[in-house]
Amino acid sequence: LKETLENMEVEIVNIDYDEIKVNEFFRICDEIKNETEFEKAPSKLCEWCEYKLYCEGGETYMLLPENKRRDIKIDENPDMWIYADSYVGKSTFVDKFPNLLFLNTDGNTDNTTSPVVKIADEVTFEGRLKKVKMAWEVFLDVITELERKDNTFERVCIDLIEDLYEHCRLYMYKKLGIDHEQDAGFGKGWDMVRTEFLSAIKRLKNLGYQVIYISKEINTEITLKNGNKITTIKPNINEKIANVLAGTVDLTVRAFMDGDERYLLLEKNENIFGGGRFNFKVPRIKLDKDEFIKALKDAQESVMTAEDTEVLNTEETAIMKRRSRK
């Protein structure tokens, strides 16, 4: 459409005044104003109407849910963040999950088989004119396409999340005409970059796909006041962004190697960034999809449905009544 319009010119055409058409327009306006019943008039334009399901299908939407407890189900597809050193097998582990779409930033896709979209700058030439579509714009276009739900993907993996954040920074630098966040003054640059990045991540999260982040790790040595030194391990991304991202997933875990074996750390450690909403029974497992799913199920074995809870409460009430009679 853009290419077609570029070769066209705006032409100004004089239209003769027609009093009949003007009167007809005002007549229609009066009819609309005085009308009390509007009959349905389906057309091809209905395909683009956000109220199509309501108008044609009779679907209604409540602002408030029914006052009824929901069943808690075992979650085998939690949103997660996995990080590790290079060559541990982060991407290969995630690649084992079915119906997965990789959003890759580093070009390392030789060891994975899932469909992939490369998040990188796209450079095109029109004659001598160079045009660059920034990587962040590519990512936003992917989200827009996923919003259509015209696909069979169930999971979306961002590999690597820190690279995506850097792409967002560069995009905002260009948009704001600055070379660094500090150039915007009074923390404005940092805030605008963070808002742009997290808003896009929330858009992706709201689509209903299982979302997986992949990161590389960094080790930092900290010297305490007493002279002792400790090593902290965390994802290679801004700490404030990391804390917010951790809140958008159900589980943050670290993969590592011990000799020739690869493991996934499940237990919480104050010196290692991670945690989650699951009470795992084992401190670590092998970096294997099946073992991971088994560990998830074992961690949620105490989950009860709303019906189970209601039965339990009824039994407890009956016991209390019997005791009070005695």
Least confident of 23-27, 108-112, 274-278, 301-305: 301-305
Q: Which residue has the tokens 């920034």?
A: 134
Give pLDDT, residue 317.
64
Greater pLDDT, 284 or 308: 284
Greater pLDDT, 271 or 304: 271
For the segment 144-188, what is each residue's pLDDT rounded down to a tens digit? 999 988 899 999 999 999 999 999 999 999 998 988 888 877 678
Give pLDDT, residue 315.
61
Omega prior to 160 cis, within 30 of 0: yes
Architecture of domain 80-299: 3-Layer(aba) Sandwich (3.40)
Give pLDDT, residue 61.
62
Give pLDDT, residue 322.
63
Confidence bin at 306 (pLDDT 50/70/90): very low
For the segment 5-20, what is each residue's pLDDT rounded down to a tens digit? 888 888 888 888 999 9
Give pLDDT, residue 305.
47
- pLDDT > 90 in the chain, percent: 58
Reply yes or no on whether the pLDDT at 204 is more than 80.
yes
Confidence bin at 297 (pLDDT 50/70/90): very high
For the segment 27-61, what is each residue's pLDDT rounded down to a tens digit? 999 988 888 887 888 888 888 887 787 777 766 66
User: Other CB atoms closer than 10 Å to residue 74's CB: what's the count?
Assistant: 10
DSSP 8-state symbol, 69: P
Reply yes or no on whether the pLDDT at 228 is more than 70.
yes
All residues at 6 or more sequence positions from 264 whose CB lies less than 8 Å from its CB, including other chains: 82, 93, 253, 254, 255, 284, 285, 286, 287, 292
Beta strands in the chain (DSSP E): 80-84, 100-104, 116-118, 122-126, 129-133, 155-159, 210-223, 229-235, 251-258, 261-265, 275-276, 284-286
All residues at 6 or more sequence positions from 255 whose CB lies less than 8 Å from its CB, including other chains: 82, 83, 84, 88, 89, 90, 93, 262, 263, 264, 265, 287
Reply yes or no on whether the pLDDT at 320 is more than 80.
no
- Mean pLDDT across 245-256: 95
- Mean pLDDT across 227-241: 91
Token pair for 226: 């007493």
Average pLDDT, the chain: 88
Give pLDDT, residue 122.
93
Alpha carbon separation from 56 to 48, 86, 150, 229, 290 (Å, rounded): 13, 53, 21, 67, 44
For the segment 97-141, what is each residue's pLDDT rounded down to a tens digit? 999 999 999 988 888 999 999 999 999 998 888 999 999 999 999
The CA dihedral of 225, 230, 235, 236, to the nearest 10 degrees, is: 70
Greater pLDDT, 132 or 311: 132
- Mean pLDDT across 274-285: 92
Taking the CA of residue 199 as centre, how many other CA atoms within 13 Å lie in the half-sphere pointing to its CB?
A: 9
The CA dihedral of 298, 302, 305, 306, to the nearest 10 degrees, is: -150
